[in-house]
Structure 1
Amino acid sequence: MSARRSVAPTGLADRLLSAQAVRVHCQALMAQAQAGLARHFTWHPERMALVSAYVTQVIRERHPDLRVPPHSRWRHFEAGNVDRWAQVAARHGLDRPTMQLERARARVDLAVTSVLLDASAGAAWAYADLSTGQQLAGAEGLGVASLHWWAGGALSSDPHHPCRADAVGLERLPTADLALAFQVNEHNVLPGLEGRANLLRQLALALRSRPDVFGHPGASGLRPGHLVDTLIRLYPTGRVPAEALLRLLLTTLGGIWPERPALDGAPLGDCWPHPDAPDGWVPLHQLSQWMTYALVEPLEEVGLTVVGLDELTALPDCRNGGLLLDLGLLQARDRAFHTTRWRADAEPIVEWRALTVVIMDHLAEAVRGELRLTPEQLPLSRVLEGGSRAAGRRIARAKRPGGPPPVHIDSDGTVF
């Protein structure tokens, strides 16, 4: 295993590594769609009311009091209304008041590693949670599996402190251990297994390359959780801009993604070429934004508040993007789009994801109008949680046996 050499981003690369760039570049492609000039899709705004009503109904059914929690990996750990994180914290003494700082570090260790394992599980895989008897598929199954695996000490090099992830534990990870923990066999196939394991091994290299961020004086080992200490130092007021947190993740962890574009040695991560985009690039940063959302609650443990969360965008994944296709807000110009198996860098996929980012902003506004709520009462992250992803799963189940999304993408375990 060798580290991917990277340099500090400058110029265009630096501009692409931001949530602002995601919206600006995606809006350029949306303007093409609104003018009827998008290469691969047509835009049907007359169907917005139908889609908004559908998502609103889902929110009302799932959250009758309209108290929607924020979109976060932590919701997956609560699948089936079981607070598994609270159980783990109590079992390992992390719930004690004196453990506040270590609890936050542990939660960041868990959040970062769990998000990196969160690429699509496909329609055939599921996880049997033996502690509850629940059979969990998709993101919930991946989340619960990763929580149990991490809590068992699989990613820690210190057997006395299992609830950690550190560079030594990550770099020695055998893919077979991941397969065993996620119950993978010939009848329960998880796409991109090797890619997922390799991301965690690459994470170890990223930790080693930035001890200023992932180390801590007086502490042994390099951990994602030491990001807590770094942010306390960088933001003494306790207010951490979401855009700054995302940029820190992009610049410190950007080299872990395999076979991604780079500019002048700076890795761009989830950023892809498209001929109609500004400067020819569409930044999306899906998993990095998902990771940013996942860090909000752990950082609150130590009094850090992530502000400006609406600077982040919707995640252009198969559930949000699939919802738009299944309900006709977007329609593929070529019907073969739905039967083709695509690579993540294929131009139609890049365009679909870019349009999804912008349309989800419009959809969130329409949903708020239906519910008579303000952006402060129902920010984008709560529309996603409430909301659009559950609606995407529901319409997929209604249209196709087993509920697969309307797009087929080859997953290497590192995208979607």
Structure 2
Amino acid sequence: MNTYPEADRPEGPADGLGSGWYSPVPAGHPAAALLCAEAVRTHCAAITEHVAAGQSELFTWHPDRVHAIADYVASTIRQRYPDLRVPYHSRWRHFESGGSGERLDRWHILCERAALSGPEHREDRARIGIDLVIPSVLLDAGAGPDWRYRDPASDLILTRSEGLGVASFDLFARGGFSAEPGDPLRADAERLMRIDASSIATAFQVAQHNPLVGLEGRAGLLRRLGEVMQATPAVFGTPARLGNLFDYLKANAVNERIEASFILKTLLVALGPVWPGRVVLDGVSLGDTWRHPAAPGGLVPFHKLTQWLTYSLLEPLEDAGLVVTGLEALTGLPEYRNGGLLFDFELMVPRDPAFAEVAHEVQEPVIVEWRALTVTGLDLVADGVRQALGLSEADFPLARVLEGGTWAAGRRIAAKRRPGGPPPFAINSDGTVF
């Protein structure tokens, strides 16, 4: 079991959530400086400077393309949201997938059926929303080109992130993460620790003709999630439940206001042991952090899934009355659609003309570099999008630019350039990164 070293185990009462800040990674530990969004942005910027200076053997950098990308994204936003009222980029958008561009508010329907719609139930809804969204995000790695999910509610066929989102929503609604008979809408460590690949396969309609990439990796993540929850009573309580994270965050809010960076830091240190130990620094696994010679210390963190999870917690927290501040601290998400958009518009151009012809591994320097350039590029594009739309960063934070936005524009340009709309190149995934 991958849990905290005994000396670093978070303190807190065994029968409650505790209050105040804790960290299983001490502030003076060398890993601490990498477990934040600021490190993502600064380390990626260092790699971008390296490429822009012509020192990279892998890519060239073409910032003159930013204006065209920003215009394309702005037009995509106007098409999708003519009133410019763009929601956050989060897992909740996938739960609304109905096919043919329609939206189905499954969450509202679920709350109505459970008699949880009134304002007096807003904190219960937040706990249940957290119970739902954390496992769903962990299950959100690329599905592969051949997987499909037939939605029982609409009989529509859903694919990719939308299909994964609805499949995980249905699994949750059936009590797939609950250890409490008669109380299906919860996610308990006791149940998560028992999930195996066959359970995921059944729920996600996997078959020989309907393969899902990274099946074992997804199940392993959920099991590790349960183990880490149980080892962290200060955040997840005893018995451990994901929804208890709401109580921890509320206890650390000041006048019901909480920083987005605090939420991310909490998730990075509390859930850090969930991720496979690829790069370990003095006994601490750094999760979605990789090696690159141009990065400070030779390491570049991305924390893609954890930042995606942070974005996905905004709505349940705000529904419960918390105000999340400092959204600008979070970065863009370096994955297929955002990074594919920038690649397709030739913001970064591979020096190897055969780059897109072969599948790559996540740890390859060329993929690490592409992801770093994506983080920097998204900041530049976001500024251009706001200028094109006449909006400020306060009115249109990166979380809305991504949703409106770069992710949708990445899918749009991919559909125009390649039959079926796949990303511009392939990356082998084990279900724990993208």
Question: Shared fold by TM > 0.5?
Answer: yes
Smaller-chain TM-score bracket? over 0.9
1:259 deviates by 3.5
Match of 1:151 in 2: 173
Match of 2:302 in 1: 284
Name which of 367, 370, 381 aligns with 1:352. Answer: 370
User: Mapping of 1:199-348 within 5 angstroms?
Assistant: 199-215=221-237, 221-348=239-366
Distance 1:337 1:205, change over 3 A: same
Counterpart residue type for residue 265 of structure 2: R
- What SS does structure 1 have at the residue aligned with 2:65? helix
Q: Which range is displaced more, 127-136 or 303-312?
A: 127-136
- What SS does structure 2 have at the residue aligned with 1:60? helix
| Separation (CA, whole Å) in 2 of partners of 1:128 and 1:394 | 23
User: Mapping of 1:12-411 within 5 angstroms?
Assistant: 12-79=30-97, 80-215=102-237, 221-411=239-429
| Separation (CA, whole Å) in 2 of partners of 1:46 and 1:24 | 22
| Separation (CA, whole Å) in 2 of partners of 1:194 and 1:148 | 20
| Separation (CA, whole Å) in 2 of partners of 1:193 and 1:238 | 39
Match of 1:3 in 2: 2
1:366-403 deviation line (CA, Å, top 9, x unaligned): 11111111112211111100011111111111111111
Answer whether contact 2:277 2:286 (CA < 8 A) is retained: no
1:135 deviates by 1.6
- Name the % identity: 50
| Separation (CA, whole Å) in 1 of partners of 2:46 and 2:226 | 37
Answer whether contact 1:123 1:403 (CA < 8 A) is retained: no
- What SS does structure 2 have at the residue aligned with 1:185? coil
- What SS does structure 1 have at the residue aligned with 2:258? strand
Moved over 4 A (4+): 4-7
| Separation (CA, whole Å) in 2 of partners of 1:355 and 1:47 | 13
1:96 deviates by 3.7
- What SS does structure 1 have at the residue aligned with 2:336? coil
| Separation (CA, whole Å) in 2 of partners of 1:3 and 1:266 | 11
Q: How many residues align?
A: 411
1:166 deviates by 0.3
Instruction: Give ranges in structure 2 of 5+ residues lacking alignment.
Output: 9-23
Quote the RMSD (CA, aligned, Å): 1.3
1:175 deviates by 1.5
Q: Which range is displaced more, 173-182 or 349-358?
A: 173-182
- What SS does structure 2 have at the residue aligned with 1:42? strand
Counterpart residue type for residue 200 of structure 2: L
1:82-134 deviation line (CA, Å, top 9, x unaligned): 10111111112222444322211010011111100010112211211121122
Instruction: Give ranges in structure 1 of 5+ residues lacking alignment.
Output: none
Counterpart residue type for residue 128 of structure 2: A
Counterpart residue type for residue 3 of structure 1: N
Q: Which range is displaced more, 55-64 or 41-50?
A: 41-50
1:63 deviates by 0.8
Counterpart residue type for residue 170 of structure 2: H
- What SS does structure 1 have at the residue aligned with 2:308? helix
Answer whether contact 2:127 2:244 (CA < 8 A) is retained: yes
TM-score, normalisation: structure 1: 0.96
1:206-239 deviation line (CA, Å, top 9, x unaligned): 1011101100xxxx62111101111121224211
Q: Which range is displaced more, 156-165 or 91-100?
A: 91-100
| Separation (CA, whole Å) in 1 of partners of 2:385 and 2:252 | 37
Answer whether contact 1:173 1:201 (CA < 8 A) is retained: yes
| Separation (CA, whole Å) in 1 of partners of 2:387 and 2:249 | 36
